[in-house]
Amino acid sequence: MTQVSEPTTDGEIVREHLGHCPVCGSPARTMMFDDLTDRVFGVAPGRWTLHRCGGCDCAYLDPRPNPETIGRAYARYYTHGAGNPKRLPSRRRSLKGWLANGELNRGYGYRFPHAAPAWLAAALMRPLDKARQGAFIRHLPAPSAGASRLLDVGCGNGDFLQVARDCGYEVTGLEPDPQAVATARSQGLAVEQGTLTSASFAADSFDHITLSHVLEHVHAPAAALAQVLRLLKPGGRLWVSLPSLDAEGLRQFGADWIGLEPPRHLTLFTVAGLRRLLVETGFVGIEAPMPDPDASFYFHGSAAMAAGLDPYAHGALPDAQEVRRRVRQAVHNTLRDPSRNESVTLMAWKPSPADGRDVGGVLPPT
| pLDDT (tens digit per residue) in 277-286 | 999 999 999 9
Residues, the chain, total? Answer: 366
- Check residue 1 and give its pLDDT: 31
Average pLDDT over residues 13-17: 95
Whether pLDDT at 131 is above 50:
yes
Q: What is the pLDDT of residue 316?
A: 80
* Residue 67 banded pLDDT, cuts 50, 70, 90: very high
Q: Does pLDDT of 21 surpass 70?
A: yes
What percent of the chain stands above pLDDT 70? 90
pLDDT reported for residue 346? 98
pLDDT at 6: 55
Residue range of the domain that includes 123: 89-136
Q: What is the 3-state secondary structure (H, E, C) of the chain?
A: CCCCCCCEEECCEEEECCCCCCCCCCCCEEEEEEEECCCCCCCCCCCEEEEEECCCCCEEECCEECCCCHHHHHCCCHHHCCCCCCCCHHHCCCHHHHHHHHHHHHHHCCCCCCCCCHHHHHHHCCHHHHHHHHHHCCCCCCCECCECEEEEECCCCCHHHHHHHHCCCEEEEEECCHHHHHHHHHCCCCEEECCCCCCCCCCCCEEEEEEECCHHHCCCHHHHHHHHHHHEEEEEEEEEEEEECCCHHHHHHHHHCCCCCCCCCCEEECHHHHHHHHHHHCCEEEECCCCCCCHHHHHHHHHHHHCCCCCCCCCCCCCHHHHHHHHHHHHHHHHHCHHHCCEEEEEEECCCCCCCCCCCCCCCCC
For residues 9-32, average pLDDT: 92
Specify the pLDDT at position 78.
67
Same domain, 64 and 113: no
| pLDDT average, residue stretch 179-206 | 94
Residue 197 lies in a domain: no
- What's the first-to-final CA gap in the chain, in angstroms? 44
Are residues 66 and 39 located together in one domain of the fold? yes
Per-chain mean pLDDT for the chain:
90
* 316 vs 273, residue with greater confidence: 273
Are both 26 and 74 inside the same structural domain? yes
Supply the pLDDT for residue 88.
Answer: 74
Query: 361: pLDDT confidence band, cut at 50, 70 and 90?
Result: very low
Measure the CA–CA gap between 136 and 339, rounded to whole angstroms. Answer: 18
Q: Which of 4-13, 138-147, 168-177, 306-315 has the lowest mean pLDDT?
A: 4-13
- Reported as a single tens digit per residue, the pLDDT across 73-118 is 988 776 656 555 667 766 667 888 899 999 999 999 999 998 999 9
Same domain, 68 and 93: no
In a domain, 111, yes or no: yes
| Angle at CA of residue 108, ends 196 and 84, nearest 5° | 55
pLDDT for 8 beyond 70: no
Under the banding of pLDDT at 50, 70 and 90, the label for residue 299 is: very high
Identify whether residues 111 and 131 lie together within a single domain: yes
**What confidence score (pLDDT) does residue 171 get?**
97
| 13 & 58 share domain | yes
Shared-domain flag, residues 107 and 73? no
Report yes or no on 103 lying in a domain.
yes
329 in a domain, yes or no?
A: no
Residues 14 and 75 in one domain: yes
Per-residue model confidence (pLDDT) at position 164: 96
The predicted pLDDT at position 221 comes to 97
Cβ proximity of 343 and 214 under 8 Å: no
Q: What is the pLDDT of residue 146?
A: 79
Mean of the pLDDT values across residues 119-147? 92
Report how many domains make up the chain. 2
pLDDT value at position 202? 96
* Residue 334 is assigned to a structural domain of this protein: no
Looking at per-residue pLDDT, the higher value among 228 and 200 belongs to 228
Indicate if the pLDDT at residue 144 is higher than 90: no
Give CA–CA dist 51/19, Å, rounded: 10
pLDDT band at 365 (very low <50, low <70, confident <90, very high): very low
Does residue 121 fall inside a structural domain? Answer: yes
Same domain, 59 and 111: no
Residue 32 domain flag? yes
- Does the pTM of the predicted model rise above 0.85? yes
Please tell me whether residues 93 and 73 are part of one structural domain: no
CA 39 – CA 211 distance, rounded (Å):
24
pLDDT of residue 343: 97
Q: What contacts 24+ positions apart, CB below 8 Å, involve 191-198?
A: 191/155, 191/158, 191/161, 196/153, 196/224, 196/227, 196/228, 196/231, 197/223, 197/224, 197/227
Q: Quick check: 355 pLDDT over 60? A: no
**227-233 mean pLDDT:** 97
Look at residue 214 and tell me if it is in a domain.
no
Whether residue 3 has pLDDT greater than 70? no
Say which amino acid occupies 246: D
